A and B are shown apart, each in its own frame.
Chain A
Amino acid sequence: QVQLVQSWAEVKKPGASVKISCQASGYTFINYDIHWVRQAPGQGLEWMAVINPSGGSTTYAQKFQGRISVTRDPSTSIVYMELRGLTSEDTAVYYCARDGTIFGVLMAMDVWGKGTTVTVSS
């Protein structure tokens, strides 16, 4: 079945970087964009970035410009999200999600990973 499997939880110190992975399976990896969305404790959903796995082009939320990088490895169907310069405000659950289509129509984020908890603490 179609699924996105994310890497395990991380604990980082302020100023460090974190790199999270999202492995796709059950569909043709290069055909669907992958987004990163985060959710701080008790807060709503915040869109961070998107990558086109075919060509590797990315779009980042302005808020994260300069300290986020999203890459992909088509040979393993994995998308990576690296966030640098972590602060306590980056403590959150980070989700990857696929842009789905149905009968050729874009239907927003139809498949989500289970999330990766990142805790930033000294």
Chain B
Amino acid sequence: ELVLTQSPGTLSLSPGERATLSCRASQSVSSTFVAWYQQKPGQTPRLLIFGASSGAPGISDRFSGSGSETDFTLTISSLEPDDSGVYYCQHYGSSARTFGQGTRVEI
């Protein structure tokens, strides 16, 4: 069973700083099927990145993704106060989907 482990649990940064969020898979996965979501308090999740590095339509280019095999990264280049929330990675390479436990970003 695939497990995705995200770190850190919480990231506290200031506006304008760069955020680096990690997602580690328990086994090698295809980068074609790694996604990142943002969930703001009280809101539904929103797709940010798919295919490990492709921005979803309408998503700011401040959000970028990278990685391969077992290690994937979401980078927010210049934090804005509205970026606060929880970020989840996901593998979607099979019908059964797996989410990481989330990283909380506090600005």
Contact = CB atoms under 8 A, between A and B. Distances in A.
Nearest to A52: B95
Interface string A22-63: 000000000000010100000011110010000000010100
Interface-central residue, B37, B95, B100, by most chain A CB under 10 Å? B95
Contact of A106 (B33, B86, B88, B102): B33
Nearest to A112: B44
B96 A61 contact: yes
Given A107-B50, A108-B90, A47 B97 contact: yes
B56 A59 contact: no
B101 A107 contact: no
B63 interface: no
Interface residues of A, number: 24
Contacts of A74: none
B88 A44 contact: yes
Interface in A66-93: none
Contacts, number: 68
Nearest to B93: A106
Contact of B45 (A100, A106, A107, A109): A109
Interface-central residue, B45, B54, B88, B100, by most chain A CB under 10 Å? B45
Given A61-B96, A109-B92, 4 more contacts: A45-B99, A47-B96, A50-B96, A109-B45
Interface of B: 33, 35, 37, 39, 44-47, 50-51, 54, 56-57, 86, 88, 90, 92, 95-102
30 contacts: A37-B97, A37-B99, A44-B86, A44-B88, A44-B101, A44-B102, A45-B37, A45-B39, A45-B45, A45-B88, A45-B99, A46-B99, A50-B95, A50-B97, A61-B96, A99-B92, A100-B47, A106-B33, A107-B35, A107-B47, A107-B50, A107-B51, A108-B47, A108-B92, A109-B35, A109-B92, A110-B47, A110-B56, A112-B44, A112-B45
